Structure 1
Amino acid sequence: MESALSPKSIINVAAICGSLRKASYNRGLIRSAIDLTTNQSVTGMSINYIDISPLPMLNTDLEIDGKYPQSVTTFRDQILQSDCFLFASPEYNYSVTAPLKNAIDWASRPPNVWADKAAAIVSAGGGFGGGRSQYVLRQSGVYLDLHFINKPEFFLNAFESPPKFDDEGNLIDLEAKERLKSVLNALKAFTLRLNNK
């Protein structure tokens, strides 16, 4: 099958944050990624933030006659129409958050709409910067047939000095923004590569 993407195509990125807080540092990473594409620091990408808060907790009793609740159907359509994914994954108890796992599971219900697409993960937090959540998410990706970029990795200790975020959770650290830019460029290149195989 001929790819729908070419190097000149605009890549549609679905951005999903595992934290539901508006001032979340991880959500701030997504806002910064969107800024990088809108101000042309990263070209050829359009990032759409997808709010996962309306999703009900996974319960297959909600699947009636092969149909999902409307919020789930809308979410699944957004995932299906995207070329690749950017996950901002905070770490809770050495793992991914419940809202993020819930979203992953809803979109994996038959037919799995994650399959055979590229993805990248960024995270901010204390200590290891959310890194353990990334390993758990990568494990899920194996079953989902998601293809995560391996390098560059992006873990950010949000509590080191100087401050990495402002009071509203916006990324202000210039070095971190450059690292985020590298992640987006790698995601773009890998997405084009997968679609031109």
Structure 2
Amino acid sequence: MTFDPTKFFATLRIKLGRLSQLQVNGFNAVLKACEGAPLSYAAYMLATAWHETGATMQPVRESPNASEAWRKKNLRYWPHYGRGYVQVTWPKNYAWLDAEAAASGLTQPGDILANLDLAMRPDIAALALRKGMEEGRYDAQGKKMSQRLPAQGAASITQYINARYLVNVQDRAAMVAGYAKIFENALLDGGWK
């Protein structure tokens, strides 16, 4: 059985209510990046994007209500401040994302380094989400997603809580774990394998 996004979104609407077209577009970008990923990985990537974007499912900029002048003055890593579904920060991480996006055929080498705002493009933000979590780039303990979540089947709430280290230590870990269970069920209803 192939994945049926209609069934996935039907389950989500029961759990989350009405979804805007922008939210649906964001979900689709993350789902595309998740293709071939185990169930628990896909569920947790969706939960992370949902939480980190404030449920907009659109890539966000660090300090979203601040001006660029404020960011320049207050963020020591400006202009390499956080952008995306997860906050890609620092020059080394933008260099990594530039290489990953070029290798994936989303950009040409050097494009992201020349225009850091490309990290806000949903397909690139979703790539950063998946690759970064798979490789453990954002994990404070350096662990990869494969060290935090099962490669087959559903994850337990405890596993999802511990997976929060992949992005943000344990900030709101139980909340994000709850989202992961919602997305896990929706993925299963859609036939995710």
TM-score (norm 2): 0.30
Greater fraction of residues in strand: 1
Greater fraction of residues in helix: 2
TM-score (norm 1): 0.30
User: Which structure ranks higher in relative contact order (CA pairs < 8 Å, sequence separation ≥ 6)?
Assistant: 2
